[in-house]
Structure 1
Amino acid sequence: MAFVRTVSGDIDPGAMGVTYAHDHIYCVPQLWKQKGDVDLLLDSPEASQAELELFAKAGGRTIYDATAIDYGRDVGVVKRIAEAAGVQVIATAGFNKAIMWPGTFAAKGATFANWIAAQSRRALADHVVAEVTEGMDGTDIRGGVVKFGTGYNTMTESEVKVLLAVLDAHKETGAPVHSHTELGTMALEQLDLLRQEGVDPARLTIAHLDRNPDRWLHRKVAETGAFFSFDGITRVKYYPEDVRTRCILDLVRWGHEDQVMVGGDIARRTMFASYGEGGLGMGFILEKWVPRFIEEAGEAGFDGKKLIRKFMVENPQRAFAFSG
């Protein structure tokens, strides 16, 4: 029987409800802490819980928290505030990307870079498997997704080793796979490695491809069966918001509406409404972006309400379910 693994236990996919497909809740990345970049430190349990409450009030039920260990994960805090807010959270096993690895891996007494370099592919896979089957961060809270990432138009030797180890962990556990792409680059190269390893691309969700709104690239990725996490909403520093809508509707026109999901990727204090910085917060997508998308989809001849249900309710039930 298919199931989704949350920080509070396994649930039926049908119990997920409205889902954000990529976000961050509470995290203290060691690299950004060492560099003194306070905006990237989501270190207030109270403020983060208030954000989850905004999400729930807006109609949200489940969030995939894409925070891996190298991005300052603390699943104990996340579980506590998620349960207090009445939100289901799926936690991340695995890793983010090499740019984060100069940060200190406190549990191992080394930088992530040095620790990863010293590990074999098998040892890294065992680490990720244990995060899924036993627990993370010294707890019995298990990961519900295995994750890897690559850099901006780069894929380092260590990132490839981690990627392959994460795919090994997927094969052993059946956990869904999530990938970070820096500004939407290297997606096809990631997919080449999935094929090489015999992993079905339909088990992978690729994040941040909306930061590279290349129609040809999106079509080629979609043809593999992989899921898209459109998670750059509000980032008008990259391009106007309607570009994302056009990318989504292109996928629908090409017959790939079953592969689209939506998230916020909120990872800065200035993006939250509850950290005192005046940000839009976790309720914004449901309260403001969804009505806008429905209107724009309708103007283009689509049933926007039906599409939103597909993107935020139905598709996550498949993307985040463990396989047999």
Structure 2
Amino acid sequence: MSYIRTLHGDIAKEDLGFTYSHEHIVCRPAFWQERGEDDLLLDDKEKSKRDVLDFKKHGGHAIVDATAVDYGRDVQAVQEIALETGIKIVGTAGFNKSFLWDAKIKEELKPLTGDYETYTQWIEAKSINELADFVIREVEEGLEGTPFKAGQVKFGTGYNRITPLEEKTLRAVARAHHETKAPVHSHTEVGTMALEQIELLKSEGVNLSYLSLGHMDRNPDPYYHEQIAATGAYMSFDGIGKIKYAPESTRIALILNLVSKGYEDQILISGDTARKTYYKHYDHGLGLEYIIAKWVPRFVDEANRNGFDGQKLIEKFFVSNPANCFSFKK
């Protein structure tokens, strides 16, 4: 039997519905807060909620909130948004990437992380298994001491490198996965180091069908994508709407290339909407409605023109693939 773990309990995977696979809803990353980067602080619950309601209005059902402990998540606010909107939200245990770890640990976390000033100090001081125990508790007991449990475990690595501390958190997350059976998600910086992450996970005995790799469209390399897809992992194209990185035509071509090679069951789609300027109700951005309301019709049209069944692919990318990817399998 498979199920999805949301902030408000476990559900049958068939009940997940139309899903964005990588978003950020309410968060105040300490790294950016300390540097006065206001655009990267999603710090108004009501504004975030209005964007979630726009997603719902167009037929959305669920969002995977990929915000880990080191990215300043607001667990209480996000679970309230889930409750008040009726959108199912999946929370995330684990870690992001090492450059964020110079930030100070917020006081509320000290009972859980110990008396360390920064995330770097905490991660350096703890063993792999001690960090794994922290992640396990967030899946089985609740995020940051709340009763709201994580539905996936996450690690991250930097641009074209994996630091020793990032490898340490990767291995901790892999061991937490073995204990909990939670799906695994990775942050790849600009879409790099995915194959290296995969080799490390294999050394920890992780079945790659539990893995989704983030930010694949930031590295628009079809050959590289085919190498990754051949491992059986899910690939998250989660930069939709970010034209500063690439036009939508590039992303759609990358996705259709993978479909043409038979990998349509391993593709996830989302927006990684993590700035005020990306949100409609913070700063007039495209908002959480953009993908479901505007990108989906364009993708269907382009897919159909290229001889594919566009609507069938949308059902896979947003419904059946997330339901399979984010399942706990007993």
| TM tier relative to shorter chain | over 0.9
1:281 corresponds to which residue? 287
2:137 corresponds to which residue? 130
Structure 1 stretch 302-311 or stretch 131-140: which is displaced more?
131-140
Give the AA of the match of 2:277. Answer: T
1:161 corresponds to which residue? 168
- Say if 2:233 is the partner of 1:222: no
CA drift at 1:323: 2.1
Give the AA of the match of 1:295. Answer: D
**Once the two structures are superposed, what CA deviation does each residue of 1:258-277 show, in whole Å capped at 9, x if it has no partner?**
000111100000000011x1
The answer to whether the Cα contact below 8 Å between 1:178 and 1:206 also exists between their aligned partners in 2 is yes
Aligned to 1:265, the other structure's residue is in SS state coil
User: Which of 302, 313, 317 matches 1:311?
Assistant: 317
User: Which of 237, 240, 254 matches 2:247?
Assistant: 240
2:58 corresponds to which residue? 58
- Take 1:129 and 1:31, find their aligned partners in 2: how far apart are those partners? 25
The answer to whether the Cα contact below 8 Å between 2:28 and 2:71 also exists between their aligned partners in 1 is yes
CA drift at 1:138: 2.3
Matches for 1:260-271 after TM superposition, within 5 Å: 260-271=267-278
- Take 2:145 and 2:178, find their aligned partners in 1: how far apart are those partners? 24
2:326 corresponds to which residue? 320
1:99 corresponds to which residue? 99
**Once the two structures are superposed, what CA deviation does each residue of 1:227-271 show, in whole Å capped at 9, x if it has no partner?**
011101111112221010011001101100000011110000000
The answer to whether the Cα contact below 8 Å between 1:74 and 1:137 also exists between their aligned partners in 2 is no
- Take 1:122 and 1:196, find their aligned partners in 2: how far apart are those partners? 16
User: Which of 212, 216, 219 matches 1:205?
Assistant: 212
**Once the two structures are superposed, what CA deviation does each residue of 1:8-59 show, in whole Å capped at 9, x if it has no partner?**
1000000001000100000010110000000000000110111110110011
**Once the two structures are superposed, what CA deviation does each residue of 1:197-242 show, in whole Å capped at 9, x if it has no partner?**
1111110000001110111110000000000111011111122210
- Say if 2:44 is the partner of 1:44: yes
Aligned to 1:104, the other structure's residue is in SS state coil
**Once the two structures are superposed, what CA deviation does each residue of 1:152-175 show, in whole Å capped at 9, x if it has no partner?**
001000000000000000000000
- Take 1:281 and 1:89, find their aligned partners in 2: how far apart are those partners? 17
Q: Could you list the structure 1 runs, at least 4 aligned residues long, displaced by more than 2 angstroms after superposition.
A: none
The answer to whether the Cα contact below 8 Å between 2:24 and 2:272 also exists between their aligned partners in 1 is yes
- Take 1:3 and 1:74, find their aligned partners in 2: how far apart are those partners? 24
2:29 corresponds to which residue? 29
- Take 2:144 and 2:205, find their aligned partners in 1: how far apart are those partners? 30
2:197 corresponds to which residue? 190
Give the AA of the match of 1:159. Answer: E
- Take 2:253 and 2:99, find their aligned partners in 1: how far apart are those partners? 31
Give the AA of the match of 2:316. Answer: K
Aligned to 1:307, the other structure's residue is in SS state helix
Q: TM-score, normalised by structure 1?
A: 0.98
Aligned to 1:137, the other structure's residue is in SS state helix
Q: TM-score, normalised by structure 2?
A: 0.97
- Take 2:246 and 2:139, find their aligned partners in 1: how far apart are those partners? 37
1:79 corresponds to which residue? 79
Q: CA RMSD in A?
A: 0.8
Matches for 1:132-151 after TM superposition, within 5 Å: 132-151=139-158
- Say if 2:304 is the partner of 1:298: yes
- Take 2:38 and 2:151, find their aligned partners in 1: how far apart are those partners? 28
- Take 2:8 and 2:247, find their aligned partners in 1: how far apart are those partners? 38
Identity %: 51
How many residues align structurally? Answer: 323
1:173 corresponds to which residue? 180
The answer to whether the Cα contact below 8 Å between 2:241 and 2:290 also exists between their aligned partners in 1 is no
CA drift at 1:289: 0.2
- Take 2:305 and 2:239, find their aligned partners in 1: how far apart are those partners? 22
The answer to whether the Cα contact below 8 Å between 1:176 and 1:323 also exists between their aligned partners in 2 is no
- Take 2:52 and 2:103, find their aligned partners in 1: how far apart are those partners? 27
- Take 1:304 and 1:165, find their aligned partners in 2: how far apart are those partners? 39
Aligned to 1:67, the other structure's residue is in SS state coil
- Take 2:297 and 2:20, find their aligned partners in 1: how far apart are those partners? 16
Unaligned runs of 5+ in 1: none
